[in-house]
Amino acid sequence: MPELPEVEVARRSVADRIAGGLILAVHMGKPLRWPLQTDPQGLVGRQVVSVGRRGKYLLFHLDEGVLLVHLGMSGSIRFAEGLPPAGVHDHFTLVTTHGLLRLHDPRRFGAVVFAPGLDKPPATTLLSRLGVEPLSADFDEASFVNAVRGKQAPIKQVLLAGALVVGVGNIYACEVLFLAGIHPATRADKVARYRLCTLHGAIKSVLAAAVAAGGTTLRDFSDANGDAGHFQTHAKVYGREGLACTVCGTPIKRMVQGQRSSYFCPNCQRG
């Protein structure tokens, strides 16, 4: 599913081009995970001021209100001056004076939700429990280390929960734990402090590298221009079960945690 780097890549690929555009029409397809929360025709005439991001939510700031877009499990957005007629998996199209923005989502776990402001429902409900943004100056090493050491769950589950730091999804959790030399099943409060400091740096560097690589495309992710990401070609452990570790040569192993695959090197990740 699209994780934080993919959502940030999507944001960057559309933000400058759609900013300033006036909404001319809104076309709805099949229902998504949540209702729009407003009459679609009420958006006509409003202006797209800017595009932000919080966690895995794209935030289309309008001159009145904000549209929160979540890509779900299989979603992607496209933006162009003209797009083909909407297909069976195209569920939301925003027609603006700068081009057409479309959400394509085969599994329909995504969402487009309107809120009067980020400080009002449903935005507060959706965003209030998200952790610190890992690519921001607020992602402080000491605070992160102390918070993790207060958890008794497996370290990978702590990362995926998103309450301490947002957006470290399954692919990137595997990668950062490898760089920090931490086994994904190790209890968070049992991880040495120096390894957690390394983990903090790994989260920042891996996510930044993933954004620079255009994200990860395993099946159908692409940015708003239709371009696929290629971070998957740089992965050290994710998806490499049975292949040699790039550091020590030991075969990479896979285990299941919380119904998700964890990839790790049994030799390098003992912490």
User: Would you call 134 a catalytic residue per the annotation?
Assistant: no
Give CA–CA dist 164/147, Å, rounded: 7
To 5 degrees, how large is the angle CA 30–CA 100–CA 109? 30
CA distance 260 to 170: 7
Give CA separation, 137 vs 71, 140, 204, 237, in Å.
Answer: 25, 7, 10, 28
Could you confirm whether 81 is annotated as catalytic?
no
Residue 3 catalytic?
yes
Task: Select which of 17, 56, 156, 240 is catalytic.
Answer: 56
| CA dist 78 → 3, 74, 101, 224 (Å) | 17, 13, 6, 4
Query: The tokens of 105 are what?
Result: 């989502």
Bond prior to 116 in cis (omega within 30° of 0): no
To the query of whether residue 116 is one of the catalytic residues in this protein, the response is: no
Name the residue type at position 249.
Answer: G
Of 33, 151, 204, 260, which is the active-site residue? Answer: 260
Sequence-distant contacts of 196-201: CB under 8 A, at least 24 apart: 196/144, 196/145, 196/148, 196/149, 197/141, 197/145, 199/148, 200/139, 200/141, 200/144, 200/145, 201/141
d(CA 171, CA 153): 19
Angle at CA of residue 133, ends 232 and 48, nearest 5°:
90
Given 3, 8, 133, 175, the catalytic residue:
3
17's tokens = 């081009």
User: Of 62, 90, 65, 67, whose CA–CA distance to 78 is shortest?
Assistant: 90
List residues with catalytic annotation: 2-3, 56, 260
